[in-house]
Amino acid sequence: MPRILMSGASGGIGTRLRKLLPPIYPDLLLSDIRPPADLGANEQFKAADLSDLAQVEAICEGVDGILHFGGYSVEGPWDDILQANIIGGYNLFEAAYRKGVKRVVFASSNHAVGFYPRHHKIGTDVTPRPDGRYGVSKVFGEALGALYADKHGLKVTCLRIGNFGDVPLDLRRISIWLKPEDLVQLCQIGLEHPDIHFEVFYGASLNERAWWDNHRAYEFGYRPTGRSEDHVAHAMAEQAKLKPDPVGDHYQGGAFCSNEFDGDTSRIIDWNKR
């Protein structure tokens, strides 16, 4: 059985995957800067600070594949993102290369392309349009993945994750929802598919209102089971509680776009006239 390392084990996604992955990958090593509060006696855990290359090398020892969900997971101060996502992302790929890891699944984000308008359907090969410092760090991580795949032969899959959870939480998330079990399926493709070299997939379930063309994932056998239209009533009830956000409601990145925004709003008006 392959030995799989999952970073970010104490985070929201990592906490859920800790329950879903062991039946598929029994030899699962968990890591984060500190242990999960509810770490079980049967779970393997090694702490590591992603900004310390030696610590990252230590958790990569003897590992066949990595699910990299670690790092700073929201918009925040540059130095925090720099240490965890930029330096930490480099350390993860470099340590994987040095230790002979065969595959890496990198948790990218929809915020790498958040400044595309919602009415503009995009594929995975578009020019990055990050909606904040966090989004910039995910673009950097994708670029690292491409470098290590092309230069060193590491098999890399980048997942531009949308809204991970049991149900979509509002109107925006109807278009980008990702059921946890569907994320597991995408991870399996990245860890196991024989034809993976370097790929970018959108981390999204079967969303009929999707803004993303995810055909590459389907070509690799992805068959999501979650359908966002089944949860529209709940999402719209939650949407009714939110205040209008002229910038965030226009762009795919939502509030990440309107946060600190002082740009040209005429571009939004012009787009809406088309």
On the question of pLDDT at 30 being above 90, the answer is yes
Between 133-152 and 88-98, two packed helices, what is the crossing angle to 10 degrees? 20
Q: Which domain holds residue 113?
A: 4-273
Any idea which of 65-74, 107-116, 207-216, 261-270 has the lowest mean pLDDT?
A: 261-270
Task: Give φ, ψ of 38 to 5 degrees.
Answer: -110, 30
For 128-159, the pLDDT digits (tens) are: 999 999 999 999 999 999 999 999 999 999 99
The question of whether 134 is a catalytic residue gets the answer yes
For 58-113, the pLDDT digits (tens) are: 999 999 999 999 999 999 999 999 999 999 999 999 999 999 999 999 999 999 99
Number of separate domains in the chain: 1
For 161-206, the pLDDT digits (tens) are: 999 999 999 999 999 999 999 999 999 999 999 999 999 999 999 9
Tokens of 221: 């056998």
- Report the CATH number at residue 24: 3.40.50.720
Say what the pLDDT of residue 99 is.
98
On the question of pLDDT at 208 being above 60, the answer is yes
Catalogue the long-range contacts made by 43-47 (C-beta closer than 8 Å, 24 or more residues apart).
Answer: 43/18, 45/9
Residues linked to residue 164 through DSSP beta bridges, in sequence order: 178
The catalytic residue among 25, 134, 148, 202 is 134
Say what the pLDDT of residue 269 is.
66
Query: Could you say which DSSP state residue 170 is in?
Result: S
Task: Give φ, ψ of 248 to 5 degrees.
Answer: -65, -35
Task: Give the Å distances, CA to CA, from 102 to 76, 85, 117, 154, 160.
Answer: 32, 21, 37, 6, 21
